[in-house]
């Protein structure tokens, strides 16, 4: 991009470029030069908006974790509709079928990034922590509607489902597991909690 040409929504343009690199080549390919080249802008653009590359990566992770709040509202609104197993299967597929796995790989691969993220997420892993809260809130809403057993531990179920979902999707190089496999695992995890597993 020629110098002197204004870029609209620079942060989002840089974040989207980083996501494309993560999806195409993984966390090790993510450098400031790769991001600015992918975004079609000068390297200095990134450094005008972020203190350094680690600050950029931190903001990328926090921004993408914040988007889970939008998904959480939609999932809570689905309580009482469809089936619990179906709704959770869809939520896990949407979550882990996105760039989330690559961002988790990025967090795991960079010590400096993890240290920065500890300021806002002192325990757990960003994205997984928010995703667990999303599922726990949904399961609590279903519990309140009587679609889960009275003694269902929604927080433990959410942890179990996020861990299982992560393992199902990890290491598949962008290829999602079969929908029937995800549905089977979710159904098994929720078998003792829902009145009827579909």
Question: Model confidence over 41-99: pLDDT tens digits?
Answer: 998 899 899 999 999 999 999 988 888 888 999 999 999 999 999 999 999 999 987 67
Question: Could you say which of 1.20.140.10, 1.20.120.530, 1.10.10.60, 3.40.640.10 is the CATH number of the domain covering 10-49?
Answer: 1.10.10.60
Residue 148: is it exposed, middle or buried by C-beta count within 10 angstroms (0-12/13-18/19+)? buried
Asked, colleague to colleague, whether 10-49 and 60-190 share their fold, the answer is: no
How far out from the chain centre does Cα 9 lie?
A: 22
Sorting pLDDT into bands at 50, 70 and 90, what band is 196? Answer: low
Give the start-to-end residue ranges of the domains of the chain: 10-49, 60-190
How far out from the chain centre does Cα 129 lie?
A: 9
**Rounded Cα gap, residues 126 and 98, in angstroms:** 15
Tell me the β-bridge partners of 15: none
* Per-residue confidence (pLDDT) for residue 8, from 0 to 100: 56
State whether the Cα torsion 65-68-70-73 is positive or negative: negative
**Rounded Cα gap, residues 98 and 25, in angstroms:** 15
Q: Which fold has domain 60-190?
A: Tetracycline Repressor; domain 2 (1.10.357)
> The pTM is what?
0.85
Per-residue model confidence as pLDDT tens digits over 120-164: 877 888 888 999 999 999 999 999 999 999 999 999 999 999 999
DSSP structure class, residue 145: T
Where residue 59 falls (left for φ over 0; alpha for ψ -120 to 50; beta otherwise) is alpha
**Rounded Cα gap, residues 135 and 108, in angstroms:** 23
* Per-residue confidence (pLDDT) for residue 152, from 0 to 100: 95
Tell me the β-bridge partners of 148: 194
Element spanning 131, H or E: helix 128-144
């Amino acid at each position: 991009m020629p110098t002197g040409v204004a870029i609209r929504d620079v942060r989002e343009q840089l974040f989207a470029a980083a996501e494309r690199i993560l999806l195409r080549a993984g966390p090790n390919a993510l450098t400031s030069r790769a991001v600015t080249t992918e975004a079609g802008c000068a390297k200095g653009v990134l450094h005008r908006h972020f203190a350094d590359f680690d600050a950029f990566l931190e903001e990328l992770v926090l921004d993408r974790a914040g988007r889970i709040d939008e998904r959480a509202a939609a999932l809570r609104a689905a309580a009482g509709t469809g089936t619990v197993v179906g709704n959770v299967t869809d939520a896990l597929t949407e979550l882990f079928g996105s760039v989330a796995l690559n961002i988790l790989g990025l967090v795991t691969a960079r010590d400096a990034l993890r240290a920065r993220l500890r300021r806002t997420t002192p325990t757990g892993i960003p994205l997984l922590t928010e995703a667990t809260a999303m599922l726990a809130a949904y399961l609590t809403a279903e519990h309140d509607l009587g679609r889960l057993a009275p003694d269902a531990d929604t927080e433990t179920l959410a942890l179990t489902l996020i861990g299982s979902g992560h393992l199902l999707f990890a290491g598949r190089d962008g290829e999602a597991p079969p929908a029937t496999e995800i549905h089977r695992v979710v159904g098994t995890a929720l078998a003792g909690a829902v009145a009827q597993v579909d």
